[in-house]
Chains A and B, each alone.
Chain A
Amino acid sequence: MKSPFRPDFPPDAAVLDDHKPLIRSLDRRVLIRGGVSLGALAMLTGCDIKRPEAVEAALLAISRFNDGVQALLFDPNKLAPTYPASMILRPPKFNAYYDVMDVKPVDGATWRLDVSGLVADKRAWTLSDLQALPQTSIVIKHICVEGWSYIGGWTGVPLRLFLERVGADLRAKYVAFKTADDYPSSIDMASALHPQTLLALKYGGDTLADPFGYPMRLRTAVKLGYKNPKWVTAIEVTNKYPGGYWESLGFPWFAGI
């Protein structure tokens, strides 16, 4: 299967030839010296007075314990409050690990959704394939870990329905996502099967705008904002902990609300 991250056309071989002298001129010793001082620098930051390694390890251990507690607190039948369509914020609030000006729009016509892992049918999906599935609309609150929130209206395919269609192992632990903006994310299976977890295609009745994840993004009412990856290009069902972008920087993984 073709990776969604691989460029459509391989780079011209002549480019490599052009740069051969430059590559040869790189001094191996300078590289090693640089590498050693980089390592020393990394060790220094590891001994940061504000966050010693032992403290960091203890905090992460408690955070993993909290993930377990959060999973226990999660009621799969508890619905998030919903709101009238008149309360939908237009346009929604943009948030990412980069500025809205740096959004790279995705072409819906050539976009494919890869499916992998513990699923029976690994065929890639097109946008019209997803549009042909039954759609659900929800008006829910988006709550960011930072504290802000807004009410948004989302339409799309319930993730549960999608997972059932591809014959996913619904007893698997995780559903993981890859995106066009290199923002890996993952959620637990119970949250993935929640009726308010959608593969969203529309916002406020209109096709998703580019900054908000066109052609498809995850939208779940039972997680904090950072668990809602945009421009999803691949879904994997797995038992191996997949982590995520902010999680790898220290944020809690479960992030249920």
Chain B
Amino acid sequence: MRHVKTETPAVDTSSVHTARRLHPRPVRIMHWVNAVVMLIMITSGWGIYDDDVIIRGFHFSSFWRLGDWAAWSLNWHFAGMWFLVINGLIYLVYGFASGRFREKLLPIRPSEVVQTVIDTLHFKIAHEDITVYNAVQKLLYIIVILAGISQVITGLAIWKPVQFSGLVTLLGGFQTARVLHFAGMAVIVGFLIVHVALALLVPKTLWAMVSGGPRLKLRGRAEEGHAA
């Protein structure tokens, strides 16, 4: 991955052979595996949902459903779950072990969140330096990671409500677990809309998730500030 050229001003040429990229290769692979699997889980989930809706009158049209009827939506869902869980577990272990979560997602200061929201409402979206996430980005990434974990837990509960009856009780019963599983989907879809819209608005972020993005300055020099 060192042969990929980058023209981002944040590059520190003195450390080009030692510095990591913004998105190391494992992150990129897991991101795109997750993107495909998430779409499979969401759209096949809509196919399962449609047989017995939670919100009266609210259906997903066949265009949006994976699987031409419930049996195949189920089979897609129960196949996709393995890829989601295995990929997700590796991602979590990697995120904690490499320090990426701590480095990219922490700390979040409430005042920064408020300021970023105000700036965004004034159309001041700062994306000159894509190596640093703003407070809202950090918050959204943490929410979607927690939503993903929550989907696996509520999914286990509604898949095996007798074997994991304690978990079902903890979640407030089978039907509540089912609604939570649906709500988790809604959170992830909401994230996805914002995430994809922003990636398209600032295409270099999208390209960074393909090529790896700019090389990061070595730690310790991070406070020196970035050329904007």
Report A's interface with B, CB cutoff 8 A: 48, 50-51, 56, 58-60, 62-63, 66, 73-75, 78, 80-81, 141, 143-149, 221-222, 246, 249-252, 256-257
The answer to whether A62 touches B162, judged by C-beta atoms less than 8 angstroms apart, is no
Q: A143-B161, A257-B160 are in contact. Are A250 and B72 (CB under 8 A)?
A: yes
Contact: B161 with A252, CB < 8 Å? no
Contact pattern, B 69-82, Cβ under 8 Å of A = 1, otherwise 0: 01110111011001
Q: Report the minimal beta-carbon distance from A57 to chain B, rounded to whole angstroms.
A: 11
Which residues of the partner chain A approach B46 to less than 8 Å between Cβ atoms?
none
Report the count of interface residues on B (CB-CB < 8 A).
28
Q: Say what secondary structure dominates the interface of chain A.
A: loop
B174 CB contact (under 8 Å) in A56, A66, A141, A249: A141
Does B48 sit at the interface, judged by CB under 8 A?
Answer: yes
CB atoms of B70 and A146 under 8 A apart:
yes
Q: Do the beta carbons of B174 and A145 come within 8 Å of each other?
A: no
Closest to A196 in B: B162
Q: B7: shortest Cβ distance to chain A, in Å?
A: 41
Chain A residues, CB < 8 A from B48: 146-147
Residues of B within 8 A of A62 (CB): 75, 78-79, 82
Question: Which residues on B sit within 8 Å (CB–CB) of A145?
Answer: 51, 70, 74
Q: Would A80 and B165 count as touching, CB distance under 8 A?
A: yes
For residue B78, which residue of chain A has the nearest CB?
A66
B74 engages A257 (CB within 8 Å)? no
Residues of B contacting A75 in the complex (Cβ-Cβ under 8 angstroms) = 163
Contact residues in A for B76 (Cβ distance below 8 Å): 59
Contact of B52 with A by CB under 8 A: yes
A146→B69 CA distance, assembly (Å) = 12
23 contacts between A and B (CB under 8 A): A50-B67, A51-B68, A51-B72, A75-B163, A78-B165, A80-B162, A141-B174, A143-B161, A145-B74, A146-B48, A146-B70, A147-B49, A147-B51, A147-B52, A147-B158, A147-B178, A149-B174, A149-B175, A221-B162, A222-B162, A246-B71, A250-B72, A257-B160
Contact surface of B with A, Cβ cutoff 8 Å: 48-49, 51-52, 54, 67-68, 70-72, 74-76, 78-79, 82, 158-163, 165, 168-169, 174-175, 178
Residue of A nearest to B178 (CB): A147
- Asked whether, in the complex, the Cβ of A78 is within 8 Å of the Cβ of B162, the reply is yes
* A62 to B158 Cα, complex, angstroms: 19
Tell me the complex Cα distance, A257–B52, Å.
18
**Judging by beta carbons under 8 Å apart, are B52 and A252 in contact?**
no
Q: A45: shortest Cβ distance to chain B, in Å?
A: 10
How far is B108's CA from A187's CA once the two chains are assembled, in angstroms?
52
Choose among B71, B78, B163 the residue that contacts A74 (Cβ–Cβ < 8 A): B163
Q: Once the chains bind, are A81 and B165 in contact (CB under 8 Å)?
A: yes
What is the CB-to-nearest-CB distance from B223 to chain A, in angstroms, rounded to a whole number? 50
B175 closest partner in A (C-beta): A149
Taking A62-B82, A81-B162, A257-B160 as given, write out 13 further A-B residue pairs in contact, using a Cβ cutoff of 8 Å, ordered by the A residue number: A56-B72, A63-B79, A73-B160, A80-B165, A81-B165, A143-B174, A145-B51, A145-B74, A146-B52, A146-B70, A147-B178, A148-B52, A246-B71
